[in-house]
Amino acid sequence: MDFSWMAWTLPTALFFGTIAALLVGMGIWEYVSPGGNPRIGLLRFETTRGDRLFISLLGSAFIHLIWLGLTNANLWWALALSLVYAIGVFRYV
In a domain, 4, yes or no: no
Q: Is the dihedral of CA 43, 31, 16, 87 positive or negative?
A: positive
CA torsion, ordered 42, 38, 21, 67, to nearest 10 deg = -10
In a domain, 69, yes or no: yes
Q: Give the three-class secondary structure for 27.
A: helix
Q: Report pLDDT digits (tens) over 63-79.
A: 999 999 999 999 889 99
What residues make up the domain containing 45? Answer: 10-92
How many domains does the structure of the chain reveal?
A: 1
Among the listed residues 9, 30, 22, the one whose alpha carbon sits nearest the alpha carbon of residue 75? 9
CA torsion, ordered 31, 33, 36, 42, to nearest 10 deg = -140
In a domain, 2, yes or no: no
Q: Report pLDDT digits (tens) over 24-71.
A: 999 999 899 888 778 998 889 999 998 999 999 999 999 999 999 999
In a domain, 3, yes or no: no
